[in-house]
Amino acid sequence: MELQTERRDGILTIVIRGRLDGYGAGKLSDAVQASLQDDDRSVVFDLAGLNYLSSAGIRVLIAVKKQLKERSGILALAGMQDYPKSVLDMAGVTPIFSIYPGIEEAVAACRRPQDSLSVIGEISRTPVVRNGVAYIAEQVSTKRASLRVAGSLDDVLHARLTEDDIRAIPFSAIRYSLGLGALGGGVADALPLLGEMITLHGSVVWLPTDGNETPDFFTPVKDTGELYVYSGYNVALDGPFHEIVTVDAGDGGSITLSELYRSVFDFARERRCDFSGIVAIAMWAVVDGVCSTGVKKSPIAASAPANGLAINAEENVREWFAEDDEPKYRGDTMVGFGFGIDCSACTGEQIAALIDPAHAGGEQVQIHNHGVVFRGVPWDATLDLSRQIEKIVSDGEFVDMRHLKDSTGIRRAKLGVAYISGIDVELY
- Render pLDDT for 191-235 as a digit per residue (tens, 0 to 9): 999 999 999 988 899 999 999 999 998 887 766 777 889 999 999
Residue 202, domain member (yes or no):
no
pLDDT tens digit sequence for 132-182: 999 999 999 989 999 999 999 999 999 999 999 999 988 877 889 999 999
Do 241 and 363 fall within a single domain?
Answer: yes
Do 279 and 383 fall within a single domain?
Answer: yes
In this model, does residue 112 exceed pLDDT 90? no
Region of poorest pLDDT, from 116-125, 142-151, 258-267, 269-278: 116-125
Which CA distances in Å does 367 have to 22, 45, 117, 404, 407?
Answer: 51, 42, 32, 9, 11
pLDDT tens digit sequence for 337-348: 999 998 877 766
Do 400 and 412 fall within a single domain?
Answer: yes
Q: What residue numbers bound the domain in which 313 lies?
A: 119-145+236-426
Query: Has this prediction a pTM greater than 0.85?
Result: no
Provide the pLDDT confidence category of residue 116 given band limits of 50, 70 and 90: very low
Provide the pLDDT confidence category of residue 119 given band limits of 50, 70 and 90: very low
Do 322 and 377 fall within a single domain?
Answer: yes
In this model, does residue 111 exceed pLDDT 90? no
Do 242 and 95 fall within a single domain?
Answer: no
In this model, does residue 271 exceed pLDDT 90? no
Do 39 and 128 fall within a single domain?
Answer: no
Do 403 and 288 fall within a single domain?
Answer: yes
In this model, does residue 364 exceed pLDDT 90? no
Do 111 and 123 fall within a single domain?
Answer: no
Do 270 and 384 fall within a single domain?
Answer: yes
Do 345 and 280 fall within a single domain?
Answer: yes
Please give the share of the chain, as a percent, with pLDDT higher than 90.
68
Do 18 and 138 fall within a single domain?
Answer: no
Residue 171, domain member (yes or no):
no
Please give the share of the chain, as a percent, with pLDDT higher than 70.
93
Strand partners, 230: 168, 182
Residue 221, domain member (yes or no):
no
Q: CATH number of the domain that 271 lies in? A: 3.30.1330.80
The structural domain count of the chain equals: 2
In this model, does residue 362 exceed pLDDT 80? no
The mean pLDDT value for 186-190 works out to 92
- State the Cα–Cα distance between residues 342 and 295, nearest whole angstrom: 25
Residue 226, domain member (yes or no):
no
Do 93 and 65 fall within a single domain?
Answer: yes
- Which long-range contacts link 346-354 to residues 24+ away (Cβ below 8 Å)? 346/276, 346/277, 346/278, 350/276, 350/277, 350/278, 350/423, 351/278, 351/423, 353/149, 353/153, 353/423, 353/425, 354/147, 354/149, 354/153, 354/235, 354/278, 354/423
The mean pLDDT value for 114-126 works out to 46
Residue 383, domain member (yes or no):
yes
Average pLDDT, the chain: 89
Residue 304, domain member (yes or no):
yes
Residue 154, domain member (yes or no):
no
Residue 133, domain member (yes or no):
yes
pLDDT value at position 288? 96
Q: Which of 115, 132, 162 is the last residue of a domain?
A: 115
Q: CATH number of the domain that 101 lies in? A: 3.30.750.24
Looking at per-residue confidence, does 112 or 328 come out higher?
A: 328
